[in-house]
Homo-oligomer: A and B are copies of this chain.
Amino acid sequence: MTSGVRHLVSIDDLSLAEIQALFEHAKRFSEDLRAWAHLCPGLISASLFYEPSTRTRLSFESAMQRLGGGVLTAAEMNSSSASKGESLADTVRVVGGSYADLIVLRHASEGAARLAAQYSPVPVINAGDGSHEHPTQTLCDLYNLWIERGRIDGIHVVLSGDLRYSRTIHSFVYALARFGANIVCVPLPGFELPAYVMQRLREEFGVEPTRADVSRLGELARECDAMYLTPQKPHQLSLFTDGKGLTLERVDALYMTRPQTERYTADELQRTRVVRLGKQELAAESLREAVVMHPLPRRDEISGDIDSDPRSIYFKQAARGVPIRMAILGVLLGRLDLGAPSSRIASSSYGVSRGGNPCANPSCISRTESRHVTPAYRLANRAPVRAYCWFCSQEIAHRLVGCSTTGIFHERDSSAARKIRPDHLVFLRDEAEALAQGFIPASRPTLTS
């Protein structure tokens, strides 16, 4: 494992102050994208794409070239015979050994970029790892809000459509909460934010959900069970609420999403109703000053007849992906300084000290990649003991915990459990697994009676 190299695996790898500094750099770049070729001449980035994503790849390759750097392209790593059978850890060690000065990685397995960063001698940028994170997309979205609204803290952002399956939306929601934006969820019925997203919002960002009255959104919100998420204390909002819940007065941004139909069950496919944002929907009073955003590609959820509306910024939004990626590349390659404290919010990770891989996510890189992977986790809570897989961020399902030093196991919500040192923790589904791994139960007085 290499140290001293800075990666961008998750947006949590950057502090708020650093993100702010990135935005300032990006804004400066965007004044004339063609004026910065002196920043990275002689440097090379490699696009290692294990699944195709032409748009993301071109955006990074444009950014690198606009900085004067060179680009190596491996657009179809999965179909390459050269990559067959080679571990991801080996590939990044070779490519980062002298071929490239930075790796842009796209992979179908969650946590792949985290694994790559462990082994790569050069910075790794996560350009999408399964349905986990896509931090440059999230940074691009935040940057757009910042440019359009001048700030993110305190603004009102409406999220519309499929909020359940979209990676983009989940990462965006966490980031909005971190920045102190107010979020109004207007999901398609049945496609609400998942419970685990809500839980993380509560635990990490102190977000409290309130019912929202979104009648002023008109057609767009018909049939929706809207929800208002605010990182501020709910009582601060009392002025704006009435019996029906918080009433939405004025929206700063409306973020439309594409139905992730490729992940739907047959039942969900039937149930899905297309929300189509057109001239009529955009005429709602509360949207008068809202910018309309979309991560693109769109299908039918935004009508072409509002493309020329000045509030429709989705093409500008995509265009801004280049300056923001220029800033990220410049920073990771050591050619730009953020000049800001880099305190990360991500907690430390711990290797799993005994037993198999506790992560149950079948598309986690810790499961799909058999070599050079050491299962690891980060601690979310101590009472009860809750942990996330270090790679894919999914919660580890377990009822018991063992201590690798004492050899004793406990209920995860017991007082004994919370006293185990993190690097001695072993996650155990049930008693059968605990006993199979050689753990013994804690002596319980009541058992002797």
Interface residues of A, Cβ cutoff 8 Å to B: 33-35, 37, 41-44, 46, 51-56, 58-59, 61-62, 65-66, 70, 72-75, 77, 79-86, 89-91, 93-95, 97-101, 296-299, 304, 315-316, 318-323, 371-372
Contacts and interface: CB of A to CB of B under 8 A. Distances in A.
Contacts of A371: 304
Given A53-B82, A94-B319, 18 more contacts: A44-B62, A52-B79, A52-B80, A53-B81, A54-B77, A55-B82, A58-B72, A58-B74, A62-B72, A65-B70, A73-B73, A75-B75, A84-B297, A86-B296, A89-B304, A91-B297, A98-B318, A98-B321
A54 B83 contact: yes
A135 to B, nearest CB: 18
Contacts of A81: 51-53
Contacts of A93: 315
Given A56-B82, A62-B100, A297-B86, A37 B42 contact: yes
Given A58-B95, A74-B58, A80-B52, A297 B85 contact: yes
Contact of A54 (B59, B70, B80, B85): B80
Nearest to A304: B372
Nearest to A29: B98
A101 B66 CA distance: 11
Number of copies: 3
A104 to B, nearest CB: 13
Question: Could you say which of A44, A83, A372 has the most chain B C-beta atoms within 10 Å of its C-beta?
Answer: A44
A90 to B, nearest CB: 6
Contacts of A79: 52
A282 B30 CA distance: 55
Nearest to A89: B304
Contacts of A51: 81
Nearest to A36: B42
A296 B52 contact: no
A315 B99 contact: no
A46 B318 CA distance: 16
A58 B82 CA distance: 11
25 contacts: A33-B98, A34-B42, A34-B43, A53-B82, A54-B80, A56-B82, A58-B72, A58-B95, A59-B99, A62-B99, A62-B100, A65-B70, A65-B72, A75-B75, A83-B297, A86-B296, A86-B298, A93-B315, A97-B319, A98-B318, A98-B320, A98-B323, A99-B319, A99-B322, A304-B371
